[in-house]
């Protein structure tokens, strides 16, 4: 009996090792680094656009529309609240229509909304900002989830890149946009910011589809 018990223990240990190796191999196979790199580019572009809007919309309203500072800040509050609403709505939309489709549409929709914002009055402008903020919130949450799916074997790395590194680069880009504003004006900066999410939407169409998680 002791001998048999020892054999069973050795067999169990070998089975556990084989199972662990098999599981790790499957996870490595599940990691699509090519897709993850493209997604990281999208997250960076989205972060550049997001920080750009948060920084330059109040400046645009104050300098170009001669809007009082308090009123311009209220527009920023509406945009921030809409972004929060978009993050809550993203789960339902991605489960209903698919993550890649929702990411692509949400990014692509931001471009025309920003251009409309530049051409409309205050009343319609604040409504457009609400829709823009929702699209921004949806795109962020879906992108983070897709990153974790593409890099399933390295969830820590995926989360760090999509929520830390990429967003950090987006934040630093505000200084570059500021330099552009000093040379070309706020109108030019807003146009650049408006075009950026459309580039991200085009890259999204190259990503492989992901299932529900």
What is the model's pLDDT at position 42? 95
- CATH number for the domain harbouring residue 83: 1.20.1250.20
The domain containing residue 123 runs over which residues? 32-204
Residues of the chain with pLDDT under 50: 4-5, 7, 9, 11-12, 14-16, 18-22, 24-28
- Say if residue 90 is in the same domain as residue 101: yes
Q: Dihedral of CA 99/129/89/150: which sign? A: positive
Rounded CA-CA distance 37/65 in Å is 40
The answer to whether residue 210 sits within a structural domain is no
- Say if residue 14 is in the same domain as residue 119: no
Rounded CA-CA distance 80/187 in Å is 22
Provide the token pair at 150.
């593409």
Q: Phi and psi (nearest 5°) for 180?
A: -65, -40
The answer to whether residue 174 sits within a structural domain is yes
The answer to whether residue 211 sits within a structural domain is no
What is the model's pLDDT at position 10? 52
- Say if residue 11 is in the same domain as residue 70: no
- Say if residue 125 is in the same domain as residue 89: yes
Q: What is the DSSP letter of 154?
A: G
The secondary structure of 68-115, three-state, reads CHHHHHHHHHHHHHHHHHHHHHHHHHHHHHCHHHHHHHHHHHHHHHHH
How many domains is the chain built from? 2
Q: Phi and psi (nearest 5°) for 117?
A: -60, -40
Q: What is the DSSP letter of 206?
A: T
**Tens-digit pLDDT profile for residues 83-99:** 999 999 999 999 999 99
Closest Cα partner for 129 from 202, 194, 200?
194
What is the model's pLDDT at position 125? 93
Radius of gyration for the chain, computed over Cα atoms and rounded to the nearest angstrom: 23
What is the model's pLDDT at position 25? 47
Cα 158 from chain centroid? Answer: 13
Provide the token pair at 177.
């946009």
Q: Phi and psi (nearest 5°) for 18?
A: -65, -40
- Say if residue 76 is in the same domain as residue 13: no
Q: What is the DSSP letter of 209?
A: P
- Say if residue 130 is in the same domain as residue 104: yes
Rounded CA-CA distance 161/166 in Å is 6
What is the model's pLDDT at position 21? 43
The answer to whether residue 12 sits within a structural domain is yes
- Say if residue 45 is in the same domain as residue 1: no
The answer to whether residue 26 sits within a structural domain is yes
- Say if residue 107 is in the same domain as residue 6: no
Residue with tokens 């001669």: 66
């Amino acid at each position: 009996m002791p001998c048999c018990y020892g054999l069973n223990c050795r067999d169990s240990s070998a089975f556990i090792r084989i199972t662990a190796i098999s599981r790790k191999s499957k996870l490595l196979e599940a990691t699509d680094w090519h897709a993850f790199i493209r997604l990281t580019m999208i997250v960076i572009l989205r972060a550049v656009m997001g920080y750009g809007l948060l920084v330059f919309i109040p400046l645009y309203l104050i300098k170009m529309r001669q809007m009082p500072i308090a009123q311009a800040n209220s527009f920023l509050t509406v945009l921030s609240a809409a972004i929060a609403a978009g993050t809550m709505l993203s789960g339902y939309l991605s489960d209903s229509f698919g993550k890649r489709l929702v990411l692509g549409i949400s990014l692509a929709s931001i471009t025309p909304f920003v251009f409309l914002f530049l051409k409309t009055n205050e009343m319609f402008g604040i409504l457009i900002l609400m829709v823009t903020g929702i699209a921004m919130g949806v795109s962020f949450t879906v992108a983070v989830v897709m990153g974790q799916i593409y890099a399933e074997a390295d969830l820590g790395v995926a989360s760090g890149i999509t929520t830390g590194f990429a967003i950090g680069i987006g934040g630093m880009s505000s200084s570059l946009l500021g330099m552009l504003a000093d040379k070309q004006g706020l109108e030019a900066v807003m146009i650049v910011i408006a075009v950026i999410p459309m580039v991200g939407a085009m890259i999204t169409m190259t990503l492989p589809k992901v299932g529900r998680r």
